[in-house]
Structure 1
């Protein structure tokens, strides 16, 4: 017997009504939290008051009116406004609590304090500190503090903190432990209701352990990682903990880059995919074993709770649990109308409980991908099946394509990137993802109970993990696997237009002419904008506003900029072309310069000086004691005289305070500088910040210093005095750089000022290989154009204008 659509029982109308009402409620909640995060509590509480007054006024007016039709409309409006007022009030209260917190005041003064905090996350390895020791990011909640003025008195202060700390003792901390730490407070770098960032000094003192449940979760994780390391190869052992519990600490930089380029990063963090696979497998097994829908649902709920506890109840895991549960609901019920209200309700609850999620890209990606899968995957699958694609392949293809393209505008807006091979990589990975994750969780469950059984399961799981590694490596190596697109709102809007146009042209034949005409018009507009962008007259999303260090594309030469925060800027070298350096500084929005440092007098470092001085307020121009060649010094002298800027001299051993930073001149030795070759006369300058972007952040500028100068530096200074977070590679990456000098500096980021297709063979392959072996991210002007280094959450992120530079 067949049943037509007309014979099917009608769907209840309340499902659609609930869906319509919860969507604006979710958007109101998200919008109010974002407004509170970015503008503070006053505008949000004002909005709550206005919405309440308007709602009450409408209600009072409706009571007097007798129109039944208008009454239902007014009721909806009043309910929406009252909900919006409640959401604004809740967000405003959270923002007020963060703004009036005494730790926020201490952070504004960069004060040192002792705090009692509860650890909320596992320590995450980030960019090493200037001393080269491991550096960790930890989420914590403050409970009390002692200021430097009153060390004998503890005061209550509750709020979320971000802790940066160096040393192996911090790696041993576990969520739930209460510790006492001491450090310098700084204002939070992200607007997510965190009250302060603290840069800890010394080791933590644990005064209370975590709960039995949290200790058990830590033991399970440790047992799992131990078994994985013992039975799998190095790369597989790096990847599998990321696939199972979101632990990416062991993943190499190259592996991370490959997964970013192929849009497979979602597999290495705890996501809704993990929840869907794990809970779906448990549900099927429980249903087969018990035959009871209610009992199998209870077992699945227990499995979900175990999943959250072991993977840590952090915001990302809670988000994944909520989004994965919604997706699972859609898959097992086949009713999208039930899944969408559940998604909207989950968004509302999560934002009210964890308002910092509103500013989290991962949360936005999860919500968008989940909504796309729930709404678009079923009809897309049906279209593919009608065209002859097998149903299983159609489902996998529909999920991969939908998730990739509905999140593309967000990724373009935030990161300025689009993975061309993302769909291909996810399709190739799809057949083994479920096996890898289920096998990994089976090993996680067995590891603390039966080591031999866990070893057997994880050994087999290593095979699909090897396939995932091969897919990521192969797809990332394809030409133009990851392309750079405009960042910001313009990039997100452009990506959305492209996707919608592609869908319309694929779905409707008549729209293809319109799409082609629109594409031609876009090109006609884009080309002039691109030319203006290249000229530095317009920058839609690059460079980022919060850059810390930048390497200008000045051709074969050096031109670097260092931001010290609060508008303070230092320029090191000016390149050979005044127009190129001027254009770069305009793009960086540099209008005032505290100090210009010219490392030595070669033309490719000083000839562009007039472009640096043009139209800018400059404190002084600094040179070294040696002045070879004299023609270069003549250029400098004439430029500063024309601009009316002071010319000063920097000598070895000088320590110069510059705002919130200290400049140290390491070389060359003043007594014999004039007898050195011009390249070895280069000033070697180390600049260390007290607060921006974190205390101890160091940049080392080396000019064209060659072997003799580097040998002297290695002999004269302790390794800790040469270490740096960001390093300008000497002499444009020439082969005269000593490998031991690179390893001693130990930079997280290395910047090379070098021209494309230069006749010198710069940078030298051995130097590049040494930098890569040291784990340094390399930004090259010839490949990437203008390169900007951004510090976010204790990590250095590197972006280039012409091509994607690896992200730390």
Structure 2
């Protein structure tokens, strides 16, 4: 299929969705609402998906899978997710119906487990797909239980955290909505989390009841990313929160911060001119001119993975087209 794998982090507004195009197959990680995912698959002429990995059952991570499962031209071979005993929403019911229909039409196989035991079992080419969290024991209690030390869990605590490794080098970690309790549980199993790219948890929102700055510092101290991506929608939930960005910058001051859409806190209005730094792939914010980094496409090449050109173009956009970028406020303080 391809000479090198590619990771595409989609601008889906408030939500998460990424595509791993590997040498022998395609993996989708989370399916946010909207048509951006299907538009991208059509743009790339993808008609078969090896695996869909759903980190957890929030609508901004699963709502888009229903249209995808119902699509007559795209074959989905496997869907993996952890059960959530708290879910009684219409979207959850629709998902179960759509999975049943896809099984009958295409033979789609449902796996009701996406835990650390799946590491190495989901590969479709050169990239090793790690499930860094949760453990099977934690997934069993999910959002209705407590940890062994009696800390209360919620569905975010048991989000599936996914790592992508190429040539023994961890290129990316996709953090889903993991909170402080979930991170603490992950660290009981893994002491080494270094990766080039971090898709930051919960769209840069509050990590449960924990201190946001301290959470961001702890996570970035562990991952030491060169690129931090906030997958977020303009005007939704005030993300990324300033204390989160401050924590990221204080931990990794040289890392580049990229939001998929332009926060209201960075610019009260969107730019008048069409941004020239975006690639040609679909992005939800393109029609409203509300993209910041938009959809991000990264060619994976182990420790030689290079996205410098894209970062340079985004930096220029931030420097010359954004009035008061949050990602610049704290870097000035760090350097002074």
Indicate the residue corresponding to 1:698 in structure 2: 171
Distance 1:669 1:748, change over 3 A: same
1:553 and 1:667 map into 2 onto residues whose CA distance is: 24
Q: Contact 2:27/2:49 (CA < 8 Å) preserved in 1? A: yes
1:697, distance to aligned residue in structure 2 (A): 3.8
Indicate the residue corresponding to 2:256 in structure 1: 777
Bigger radius of gyration: 1
Is 1:686 aligned with 2:163?
Answer: yes
Q: Which runs of 5+ in 2 are unaligned?
A: 146-152, 262-291, 317-336
Indicate the residue corresponding to 1:638 in structure 2: 97
Indicate the residue corresponding to 2:206 in structure 1: 735
Q: Contact 1:600/1:628 (CA < 8 Å) preserved in 2? A: no
Q: Contact 2:226/2:255 (CA < 8 Å) preserved in 1? A: yes
For the residue of structure 2 that corresponds to 1:698, the secondary structure is strand
1:749 to 227, 249, 256: 227
**Correspondence 1:462-477 to 2 at 5 A:** none
Distance 1:635 1:781, change over 3 A: farther
User: What RMSD in Å do the two structures reach over aligned CA positions?
Assistant: 2.8
- Which one has the bigger helix percentage? 1
Q: TM-score, normalised by structure 1?
A: 0.29
Alignment deviations for residues 575-615 of structure 1 (CA, whole Å, 9 cap, x no partner): 022x2221133334433322110100111110101343422
Q: Contact 1:786/1:800 (CA < 8 Å) preserved in 2? A: no
Is 1:582 aligned with 2:38?
Answer: yes
For the residue of structure 2 that corresponds to 1:594, the secondary structure is strand
2:293 and 2:154 map into 1 onto residues whose CA distance is: 31
Distance 1:634 1:799, change over 3 A: farther
For the residue of structure 2 that corresponds to 1:634, the secondary structure is helix
Alignment deviations for residues 536-588 of structure 1 (CA, whole Å, 9 cap, x no partner): xxxxxxxxxx7722111212111111222x252211111022x2221133334
1:734, distance to aligned residue in structure 2 (A): 1.3
1:585 and 1:800 map into 2 onto residues whose CA distance is: 21
Is 1:572 aligned with 2:29?
Answer: yes
**Correspondence 1:485-504 to 2 at 5 A:** none
2:80 and 2:10 map into 1 onto residues whose CA distance is: 19
1:762 and 1:592 map into 2 onto residues whose CA distance is: 34
**Correspondence 1:175-194 to 2 at 5 A:** none
Give the number of equivalent residue pairs: 254
Is 1:654 aligned with 2:118?
Answer: yes
For the residue of structure 2 that corresponds to 1:610, the secondary structure is helix
Indicate the residue corresponding to 1:723 in structure 2: 194
Alignment deviations for residues 44-75 of structure 1 (CA, whole Å, 9 cap, x no partner): xxxxxxxxxxxxxxxxxxxxxxxxxxxxxxxx
1:768 to 223, 228, 245: 245
Distance 1:788 1:628, change over 3 A: farther
Is 1:797 aligned with 2:254?
Answer: no
Indicate the residue corresponding to 2:49 in structure 1: 593
Distance 1:762 1:588, change over 3 A: farther
1:591 and 1:706 map into 2 onto residues whose CA distance is: 35
1:603 and 1:651 map into 2 onto residues whose CA distance is: 20
Distance 1:745 1:672, change over 3 A: same
For the residue of structure 1 that corresponds to 2:257, the secondary structure is strand
1:751, distance to aligned residue in structure 2 (A): 2.1
For the residue of structure 2 that corresponds to 1:680, the secondary structure is coil
Distance 1:643 1:625, change over 3 A: closer
1:575 and 1:611 map into 2 onto residues whose CA distance is: 11
**Correspondence 1:502-581 to 2 at 5 A:** 548-564=6-22, 566-577=23-34, 579-581=35-37
1:669 and 1:779 map into 2 onto residues whose CA distance is: 30
1:573 and 1:639 map into 2 onto residues whose CA distance is: 16
Distance 1:670 1:639, change over 3 A: same
Distance 1:647 1:767, change over 3 A: same
Q: Which runs of 5+ in 1 are unaligned?
A: 1-186, 190-545
Q: Relative contact order, CA 8 A, sep 6+: which one is greater? A: 2
Q: Contact 2:5/2:127 (CA < 8 Å) preserved in 1? A: no
1:662 and 1:727 map into 2 onto residues whose CA distance is: 16
2:46 and 2:256 map into 1 onto residues whose CA distance is: 25
1:732, distance to aligned residue in structure 2 (A): 0.5
For the residue of structure 1 that corresponds to 2:248, the secondary structure is helix
Is 1:663 aligned with 2:129?
Answer: yes
Distance 1:590 1:747, change over 3 A: farther
Q: Contact 1:558/1:575 (CA < 8 Å) preserved in 2? A: yes
1:757 and 1:571 map into 2 onto residues whose CA distance is: 26
Q: Contact 2:6/2:298 (CA < 8 Å) preserved in 1? A: yes
